[in-house]
Amino acid sequence: DAKTTQPNSMESNEEEPVHLPCNHSTISGTDYIHWYRQLPSQGPEYVIHGLTSNVNNRMASLAIAEDRKSSTLILHRATLRDAAVYYCILLISSNTGKLIFGQGTTLQVKP
């Protein structure tokens, strides 16, 4: 399974933007980049995904490097409710869509 690398933890101040990086140097051309997050005591929830172009939705933005070997999840204004573990996952096109979770990045948001 293709591997992603994320920092173990990050801190942010409330109301400030947060950039969560992810490296995926072994990505292949048809692999999608997915981001999920897990709030305390809850199941993971989908945040955003992309293939080649940058993507925006109501929760976040996803910036994908031109060579696709890395991506960044952007929370434009962090709130206390954004404190969670954020997972960057490659959805491998050849394996019928199973999501393999790494250790993720634990985001702390300070008031």
Residue 35 CA, distance from chain mean position: 4
Structure tokens at 108: 């702390």
Between residues 10 and 49, which has the closer beta carbon with respect to another protein?
A: 49
Residue 43 interacts with another protein (CB under 8 A): yes or no: yes
Residue 30 interacts with another protein (CB under 8 A): yes or no: yes
Q: Buried b / exposed e across 75-89, counting CB within 10 Å, b at 16+?
A: beebeeebbbbbbbb
Shortest separation between residue 73's beta carbon and another protein, angstroms: 15
Note the residues at the interface with another protein (CB under 8 A).
Answer: 30-32, 34, 36, 42-46, 49, 51, 87, 91, 93, 96-104
